[in-house]
Amino acid sequence: VQLQASGGGLVQAGGSLRLSCAASGRTFSTYAMAWFRQAPGKEREFVGSISVTGGSTYYANSVKGRFTISRDNAKNTVYLQMNSLKPEDTAVYYCAAGTYYGHRSNNAYDYWGQGIQVTVSS
């Protein structure tokens, strides 16, 4: 599976952005998907994940209630809708595909997108 993220950019605090992650291959619908982020000087952290069918989602406390993950298996795409953005959300965001839903560890995911910059100005 190859993953290609898009939709990042610069936004003011309180604004919204939607990231997309398009997957190649016909096995997308068999993978749980997740989003991670890495701010400068910090370790990569878990943002949230979505189950194979899209019926279950799980979020880090820092984004719960502001971010929403969804997927469209017919389009081989997973989305991250980010609302009420804060400067501390500034990071490079990564999508990832793995076998098991809900894991917060990097090691649980087999495939990674290239990363996309999100910058939130105050």
pLDDT per residue over 5-27, tens digit each?
Answer: 999 999 999 999 999 999 997 78
d(CA 40, CA 67) in angstroms, rounded, equals: 21
DSSP conformation class of 29: G
Name residues whose C-beta falls within 8 Å of residue 13's C-beta, 6 or more positions apart in sequence: 85, 86, 87, 120, 121, 122
For residue 51, count other CB atoms closer than 10 A to its CB.
17
Q: What is the mean pLDDT of the chain?
A: 95
Name residues whose C-beta falls within 8 Å of residue 65's C-beta, 6 or more positions apart in sequence: none
- Which pLDDT band, with edges at 50, 70 and 90, does 118 fall under? very high
pLDDT in tens, 94-107: 999 999 888 999 99
Do 94 and 38 contact (CB within 8 A), yes or no? yes
Name residues whose C-beta falls within 8 Å of residue 38's C-beta, 6 or more positions apart in sequence: 44, 45, 91, 92, 94, 115
